[in-house]
Amino acid sequence: MWQVLLLIGSTLFLFILWFFVAFRYAKGMRKDIEQVWRKVDLNYRKRHDLLPGLVEFLRMHELDERLVTKALGARDFARRETFPSAKKSSLEKDFGSALREIFNVGGEGARDVNFLEYKSEIIKVESVFADVLEEFNTKVEHHNVRRSLWWMRPVCAVVRYGAVERYEM
Cα separations in angstroms, 79 against 29, 43, 56, 124, 136: 26, 12, 20, 20, 19
What would the pLDDT profile of 36-60 be if each residue is shown by its tens digit? 999 999 999 999 998 888 888 777 7
* Domains: count for the chain: 1
Q: How far apart are CA 68 and CA 155, in angstroms?
A: 50
Is 1 among the domain residues? no
Query: 140 lies in a domain?
Result: yes
Q: Which domain holds residue 98?
A: 33-158
pLDDT at 130 over 90: no
Is 27 contained in some domain? no
CB of 156 closer than 8 Å to CB of 80:
no
In a domain, 7, yes or no: no
26 in a structural domain: no
- Say if 14 falls within a structural domain: no
pTM for the structure as a whole: 0.84
Cα–Cα dist 38/44, whole Å = 10
Confidence band for 112, pLDDT divided at 50, 70 and 90: confident
Q: For residue 118, tell me if it sits in a domain.
A: yes
Note the Cα 137 to chain centre separation in Å.
9
Q: Where residue 107 falls among pLDDT bands split at 50, 70, 90?
A: low
Kindly state whether residue 116 falls inside one of the protein's structural domains.
Answer: yes
